[in-house]
């Protein structure tokens, strides 16, 4: 089996608010959208936001949690980009969970939550460069 993730989909309570956040905060452009779901083409996978109620129907799970015990990460190429991205996300509706600082293992990271509470780590790690295709390369 290939080592890949094809699609990551988050359940959201307000699709338009979510679209504004991902468009205005990260600068992502939808490649498909309808009244229930928005998809964004990423570097090697598709990211989606789907109305939580529709996701519950599709999965046959009665009450999905608003956000889980997990975080998504957006790595950047340069140290100074961490704060710039966090500021853009806050301006688009994010809540700061942890201000950017230097963890013991090196680099810089901070955490924000999107308008539905999904946790995003914004990080620069000098040991994990981003290649020309925009992919993070583990532990080079």
Q: Which residue has the tokens 């975080």?
A: 71
Averaged pLDDT of the chain: 94
Confidence band, pLDDT 50/70/90 cuts, at residue 3: confident
Whether the per-residue pLDDT at 68 is higher than 80: the answer is: no
Q: What percent of the chain shows pLDDT beyond 90? A: 79
Entry pTM: 0.91
> So what's the pLDDT on residue 140?
61
Whether the per-residue pLDDT at 87 is higher than 90: the answer is: yes
| Helices and strands counted in the chain (H then E) | 3, 8
* Angle (CA) 120 103 121, round 5°: 5
Collapsed DSSP state (helix, strand, coil) of residue 19: helix
β-sheet bridge partners, residue 9: 48
Residues 29-33 have a mean pLDDT of 98
**Phi then psi dihedrals of residue 70, to 5 deg:** -155, 165
30-33/72-75 β-pairing = unpaired
Sheet holding 108-113, edge to edge: 72-75, 119-124, 108-113, 95-101
β-sheet bridge partners, residue 51: 12
Residue 54 belongs to what H/E stretch? helix 52-59
Confidence band, pLDDT 50/70/90 cuts, at residue 109: very high
Q: Which residue has the tokens 């991902």?
A: 22
> So what's the pLDDT on residue 137?
87
Residues 22-43 have a mean pLDDT of 97
């Amino acid at each position: 089996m290939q080592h890949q993730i094809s699609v990551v989909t988050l359940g959201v309570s307000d699709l338009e608010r979510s679209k504004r956040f991902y468009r205005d905060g990260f600068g992502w452009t939808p490649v498909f959208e309808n009244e229930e779901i928005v998809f964004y083409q990423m570097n090697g996978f598709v990211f989606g936001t789907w109305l939580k109620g529709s996701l519950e129907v599709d999965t046959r799970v009665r009450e999905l949690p608003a956000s889980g015990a997990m975080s998504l990460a957006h790595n950047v190429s340069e140290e100074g980009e961490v704060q710039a991205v966090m500021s853009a996300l806050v301006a688009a509706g994010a809540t700061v969970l942890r201000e950017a600082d230097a963890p013991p293992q090196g680099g810089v990271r901070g955490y924000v939550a999107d308008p539905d509470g999904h946790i995003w780590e914004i990080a620069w790690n000098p040991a994990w460069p981003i290649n020309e295709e925009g992919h993070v390369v583990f532990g080079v």
